[in-house]
Amino acid sequence: MSAAEDRLAALGLSVPEVAKPVAAYVPAVVSGDHVFTSGQLPMKNGELMLTGKVGGEVSPEEAKACAQQCALNAIAAVKSMVGDLDQVAQIVKVVVFVASTPDFTGQPQVANGASELFGEVFGDAGVHARSAVGVPVLPLDSPVEVEIVVRIAS
């Protein structure tokens, strides 16, 4: 088990199975010394944790938990490409899409669910650039979607 997985275990979490794509794409690809993940939904045990819009049917706290699950799924996608999470040299970029009502402006706080997990799991290597974007709808009516770019050790 990698040091990152040990830190996940200390948080009561583990790397899940790689979520199956909902369309014609793969969960992640490697290009040079980077792994690019596809957008990860908050799938847990093969089902979306929640559906709906943040600021409507989904509370900001629930959405933050969804963002954390998306981050776990992104970690699983990265691990499927590199085998060992200790190969992660840097979480370079995190993009968080939040399906929200027109008046909801807390996308950055929702995105912290992913960002905080990356920091706890990867330490300094988990510090990243980030975008948190409000959108009208996401696939399967998911409240949150996360994609990441990771630099791996050469």
Task: Tell me the CATH class for 3-14+26-152.
Answer: alpha beta
113-119: Cβ within 8 A, 24+ apart: 113/63, 113/64, 113/65, 113/66, 113/67, 113/68, 113/70, 113/71, 113/144, 114/67, 114/68, 114/70, 114/71, 114/74, 114/146, 116/68, 117/11, 117/68, 117/71, 117/72, 118/71, 118/91, 118/94, 118/148
pLDDT in tens, 12-50: 999 999 988 889 999 999 999 999 999 999 999 999 999
CB 91 within 8 Å of CB 124: no
Domain boundaries, the chain: 3-14+26-152
Band of the pLDDT at 1, cuts 50, 70, 90?
confident
What is the predicted pLDDT for the residue at 20? 82
What is the predicted pLDDT for the residue at 19? 82
The rounded distance, in Å, linking the Cα atoms of 49 and 38 is 18
SS3 104: coil
Band of the pLDDT at 154, cuts 50, 70, 90?
confident
